[in-house]
């Protein structure tokens, strides 16, 4: 199903759409306030972009350096070419540990690889421990935002879900009470302590450490009580030096939620005595993206979600309308790399206003890449038939001045006499779904201009 | 060819033109107790300045009069904790009183390396957390913080305020999974 169709389903509830729009805009405003407090913020963005640019230009060397240092720390490093291999490696590690359950903190990579269903099908009980992720997991939904996984839900929805699964009183919708219920429920899971899976925000080549940022403390609680820690990372998470974390930790939370920093910025380098730590480095299309000069900058993304909070299309269509692990503008430039045919409508889910590019903390030219993907999608013949035909028709008209003039005349006259129901029929003119056509002028600009010339 | 080799080969084939690594940044900034206090309050934490000569034990008792199970290596503890302490014991800790290495004025974060934690899970599993910090150990920004820490060690965490979440309708709730409150005791 294409983005417009899914978006139509979301926007059919106007009140909820408005709430979603305003809530995310509020997060954007919090981001602005945090950013304006830092005089060097623009310099930090440039630095972050440059550090990532450098890292990508020597990524093979940094990956090897990282692996070497991690191994020296007693960490086992695994490499996965694609999602399937990643999932196999993780399952294998869980089985070797003799575990049947695990706790998981936020990891968009494991979402991308569809790890949860894979593990569940293989008899492993998976518990997402980030509150938002737990909510959507209980509802058997996907996260709808990078950092606010349950932002598409209202507290009444969460209350109903917790009533069904956690036994909270029917009608309980107080966020404080619901969070407390989740805290107690998830503590039980943490205490079992077999295997903990985390994502990775940054991987430091010079130390072999991985850095995980959370507000809830669920990553640390999970890892530090479990016998085995598995950290799953895309290969673009590398940064060269510990000092570079100074730049990225100043940008990440401010861009994401307007906080000055996440509550926990945790550096894992060596497992505690008697425990195991594994790092799975995943490609899954990233090296292909690296080879596309127009699109490789998307690999700089630090998953802050600022581009979603500011995007007028995302705010009004919801994360699920993108039907991709990473929604919003950044998702719309990452997804065609994974499967262009399936995600061909996403680069069009944008007004090209450029707000995403303006807020991106690593200066990815998101809107320019959206535009470039559109060219490729059109060239590859992946446009919907109506759009393809429309474009063809339009280009043949625009190439013939006589036909263009005639067309204009017919349209001007027609709009005056044809019934509104016909000119605004949604099957014929989808543009008019929520818009009114302007009143048709009496004459064209060309006619008017010719008259002026005669008058003179 | 192993996945490792094929991935590295693909990276070598596709990597962009060389680009320089920028020098380590430092933008200065105010390394003041006032800034640190402002930001820690902003993110839901509390700063308490210990009076000269005031024993830490008294301050902790005043702050947590109800706390029965206190874990600490700075004051007499009622629950001994080390890296072998079982989870069931850790889980029952009311308050952990631990040493913070340095504070960051721009965001209220405190660096807590593994050596200060008694057990890696203690700062998160304890119901409440108090970090004792020397007021001279406050730096301005994360740049100076990482410069001072140098190596992040086997495990270490910047802890900025109490555990929190806003995952339900963006309503801020303090006390998600980690400590329900965080106090920095400045001396």
Instruction: Tell whether B164 is covered by a domain.
Output: yes
Question: B93 lies in which domain range?
Answer: 25-186
Residue A418: pLDDT band with limits 50, 70, 90: confident
Contact B170 A243 (CB under 8 A): no
CB-based contact, A83 to chain B, within 8 Å: no
pLDDT digits (tens, 9 = 90+) for A246-293: 999 999 999 999 999 999 999 999 999 999 999 999 999 999 999 999
Instruction: Tell whether B18 is covered by a domain.
Output: no
Closest-CA distance of chain B to residue A287, Å: 6
The verdict on ipTM greater than 0.90 is: yes
Instruction: Tell whether B55 is covered by a domain.
Output: yes
Element (H, E) at A186: helix A175-192
Closest-CA distance of chain B to residue A410, Å: 52
Burial of A75 (0-12, 13-18, 19+ CB in 10 A): buried
Share of residues in chain A with pLDDT > 90 (%): 86
Residue A452 CA to residue B9 CA, distance in Å, equals 67
Question: Does B1 score more than 90 pLDDT?
Answer: no
| Nearest residue in A to B27, CA atom | A40
Contact B159 A155 (CB under 8 A): no
Contact B155 A268 (CB under 8 A): yes
CB contacts of B106 in chain A (<8 Å) are: 38, 250, 260
Share of residues in chain A with pLDDT > 70 (%): 100
User: A438: alpha, beta or left, given left = phi > 0 and alpha = psi -120 to 50?
Assistant: beta
CB-based contact, A76 to chain B, within 8 Å: no
Question: Does B140 score more than 90 pLDDT?
Answer: yes
Contact A260 B42 (CB under 8 A): yes
pLDDT digits (tens, 9 = 90+) for B34-68: 999 999 999 999 999 999 889 999 999 999 999 89
Q: Which pLDDT score is estimated for A87?
A: 98
Residue B95 CA to residue B181 CA, distance in Å, equals 10
CB A338 within 8 A of CB A283: no
Q: Which pLDDT score is estimated for A434?
A: 80
Mean pLDDT of B22-30: 95
Element (H, E) at B186: strand B181-186
Question: Does A422 score more than 90 pLDDT?
Answer: no
Q: Which pLDDT score is estimated for A428?
A: 80
pLDDT digits (tens, 9 = 90+) for B63-100: 999 989 999 999 999 999 999 999 999 999 999 999 99
CB contacts of A172 in chain B (<8 Å) are: none
Burial of B55 (0-12, 13-18, 19+ CB in 10 A): exposed
Contact B157 A265 (CB under 8 A): yes
Contact A288 B39 (CB under 8 A): no
Instruction: Tell whether B3 is covered by a domain.
Output: no
Considering only CB atoms, B153 lies closest to which of A131, A244, A269, namely A269
Contact A27 B170 (CB under 8 A): yes
Closest listed residue to residue B108, CA positions, set B177, B32, B173: B32
Instruction: Tell whether B137 is covered by a domain.
Output: yes
Residue A118: pLDDT band with limits 50, 70, 90: very high
Q: Which pLDDT score is estimated for A429?
A: 81
Q: Which pLDDT score is estimated for A212?
A: 98
Buried b (16+ CB within 10 A) or exposed e, B56-71: beebbeebbeebebbb
Contact A175 B169 (CB under 8 A): yes
Closest-CA distance of chain B to residue A295, Å: 11
Closest-CA distance of chain A to residue B16, Å: 5
A-B CB pairs within 8 A amount to 264
Buried b (16+ CB within 10 A) or exposed e, B89-123: ebeebbbbbbbbbbbbbbbbbbbbbbebbbbbbbb
CB A277 within 8 A of CB A75: yes
Residue A229: pLDDT band with limits 50, 70, 90: very high
| Nearest residue in B to A150, CA atom | B167
Q: Which pLDDT score is estimated for A253?
A: 98
Contacts of B8 (CB under 8 A, 6+ apart): A60, A63, A64
Residue with tokens 């965001």: B107
Residue A419: pLDDT band with limits 50, 70, 90: confident
Q: CATH no. for residue B140? A: 3.40.50.10420
Residue B136: pLDDT band with limits 50, 70, 90: very high
CB A247 within 8 A of CB A24: no
Residue A80 CA to residue A88 CA, distance in Å, equals 9
Contact A57 B155 (CB under 8 A): no
Question: Does B160 score more than 90 pLDDT?
Answer: yes
Instruction: Tell whether B19 is covered by a domain.
Output: no
**How crowded is the C-beta side of B81, counted as CA atoms within 13 Å?**
34
pLDDT digits (tens, 9 = 90+) for A433-446: 888 888 888 889 98
CB A323 within 8 A of CB A6: yes
Mean pLDDT of A117-125: 97
Closest-CA distance of chain B to residue A4, Å: 25
Question: Does A456 score more than 80 pLDDT?
Answer: no
Closest listed residue to residue B25, CA positions, set A63, A257, A241: A241
pLDDT digits (tens, 9 = 90+) for A352-366: 999 999 999 999 999
Q: Which pLDDT score is estimated for A211?
A: 98
Residue B169 CA to residue A148 CA, distance in Å, equals 9
Q: Which pLDDT score is estimated for B99?
A: 98
Q: Which pLDDT score is estimated for A437?
A: 86
Residue A390: pLDDT band with limits 50, 70, 90: confident
CB-based contact, A193 to chain B, within 8 Å: yes
CB contacts of A296 in chain B (<8 Å) are: 14, 16
Q: In this structure, which long-range contacts are made by residues B77-84, counting pairs with CB atoms below 8 Å and at least 24 apart in sequence? A: B81/B118, B81/B119, B81/B122, B82/B118, B82/B119, B83/A272, B83/A273, B83/B118, B83/B119, B83/B120
CB-based contact, A224 to chain B, within 8 Å: yes
Instruction: Tell whether B48 is covered by a domain.
Output: yes
Instruction: Tell whether B9 is covered by a domain.
Output: no
Structure tokens, B129:
């957390």
Chain A interface, mutation test: which of B109, B165, B174, B180, most A Cβ atoms within 10 Å? Answer: B165
Number of structural domains in chain B = 1
Average pLDDT, chain A: 95
Q: Which pLDDT score is estimated for A19?
A: 96
Mean pLDDT of A375-399: 90
Domains in chain A and their CATH numbers? 38-284 (3.40.50.10420), 386-455 (no CATH)
Q: Which pLDDT score is estimated for B153?
A: 97
Q: Which pLDDT score is estimated for A25?
A: 97
CB contacts of A150 in chain B (<8 Å) are: 167-168
CB-based contact, A143 to chain B, within 8 Å: no
Q: Which pLDDT score is estimated for A386?
A: 83
Mean pLDDT of A127-146: 96
Structure tokens, B170:
């963006």
The helix/strand/coil state of A232 is strand
Question: Does A308 score more than 80 pLDDT?
Answer: yes
């Amino acid at each position: 199903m294409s983005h417009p169709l899914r978006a139509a389903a979301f926007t059919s509830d106007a009140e909820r759409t408005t709430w979603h729009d305003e809530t995310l805009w509020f997060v954007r405003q919090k981001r602005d306030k945090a950013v304006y407090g830092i005089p060097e913020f623009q310099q930090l963005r440039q630095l972050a972009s440059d550090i990532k640019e450098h890292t990508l230009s020597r990524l093979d060397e940094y990956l090897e350096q990282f692996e070497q240092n991690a191994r020296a720390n007693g960490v086992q490093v695994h490499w996965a070419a694609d999602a399937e291999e990643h999932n196999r490696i993780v399952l294998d590690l869980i089985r070797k540990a003799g575990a049947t359950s695990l706790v998981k903190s936020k990891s968009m990579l494991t979402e991308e690889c569809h790890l949860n269903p894979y593990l569940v099908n293989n008899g492993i009980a998976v518990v997402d421990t980030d509150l938002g992720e737990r909510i959507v997991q209980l509802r058997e939904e996907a996260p709808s935002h990078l950092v606010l996984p349950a932002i598409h839900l209202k507290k009444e929805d969460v209350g109903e879900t917790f009533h069904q699964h956690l036994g909270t009183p029917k009608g309980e919708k107080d966020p404080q009470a619901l969070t407390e219920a989740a805290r107690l429920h998830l503590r039980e899971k943490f205490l079992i302590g077999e295997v903990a899976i985390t994502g990775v925000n940054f991987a430091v080549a010079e130390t072999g450490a991985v850095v995980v940022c959370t507000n809830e403390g669920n990553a640390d609680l999970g890892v530090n009580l479990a016998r085995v820690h598995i950290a799953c990372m895309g290969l673009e998470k590398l940064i060269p030096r510990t000092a570079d974390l100074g730049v990225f930790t100043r940008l990440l939370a401010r861009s994401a939620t307007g906080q000055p920093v996440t509550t926990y910025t945790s550096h894992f380098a060596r497992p505690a005595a008697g425990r195991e730590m594994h790092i799975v480095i995943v490609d899954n299309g990233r090296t292909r993206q690296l080879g596309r000069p127009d699109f490789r900058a998307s690999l700089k993304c630090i998953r802050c979600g600022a581009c979603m909070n500011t995007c007028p299309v995302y705010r009004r269509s919801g994360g699920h309308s993108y039907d991709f692990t990473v929604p919003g503008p950044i998702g719309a430039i990452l997804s065609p790399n994974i499967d262009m045919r399936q995600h061909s409508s996403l680069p069009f889910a944008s007004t090209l206003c450029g707000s995403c590019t303006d807020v991106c903390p690593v200066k990815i030219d998101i809107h320019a890449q959206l535009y470039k993907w559109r060219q490729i999608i059109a060239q590859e013949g992946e446009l919907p038939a109506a759009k393809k035909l429309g474009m063809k028709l339009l280009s043949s008209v625009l190439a013939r001045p006589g036909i263009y003039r005639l067309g204009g005349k017919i349209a001007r006259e027609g709009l005056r006499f044809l019934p509104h129901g016909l000119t605004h029929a949604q099957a014929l003119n989808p543009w008019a779904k929520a818009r009114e056509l302007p009143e048709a002028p009496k004459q064209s600009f060309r006619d008017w201009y010719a008259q002026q010339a005669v008058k003179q | 060819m192993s996945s490792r080799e094929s991935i590295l080969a693909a990276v070598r084939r596709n990597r962009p033109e060389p680009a320089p690594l920028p020098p380590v940044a430092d933008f200065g900034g105010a390394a003041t107790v006032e800034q640190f206090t402002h930001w820690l309050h902003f993110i839901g934490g509390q700063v308490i300045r210990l009076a000269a000569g005031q024993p830490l034990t008294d301050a902790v008792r005043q702050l947590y009069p109800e706390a029965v199970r206190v874990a600490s290596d700075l004051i007499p503890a009622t629950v001994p904790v080390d890296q072998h302490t079982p989870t069931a014991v850790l889980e029952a800790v009311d308050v952990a009183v631990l040493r913070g290495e340095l504070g960051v004025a721009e965001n209220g974060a405190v660096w807590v390396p593994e050596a200060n934690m008694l057990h890696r899970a203690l700062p998160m599993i304890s119901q409440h957390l108090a970090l004792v910090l020397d007021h001279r150990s406050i730096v301005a920004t994360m740049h100076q913080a990482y410069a001072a820490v140098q190596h992040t060690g086997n495990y270490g965490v910047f802890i900025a305020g109490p555990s929190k979440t806003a995952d339900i309708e963006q309503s801020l709730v303090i006390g998600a999974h980690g400590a329900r409150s965080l106090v920095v005791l400045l001396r």
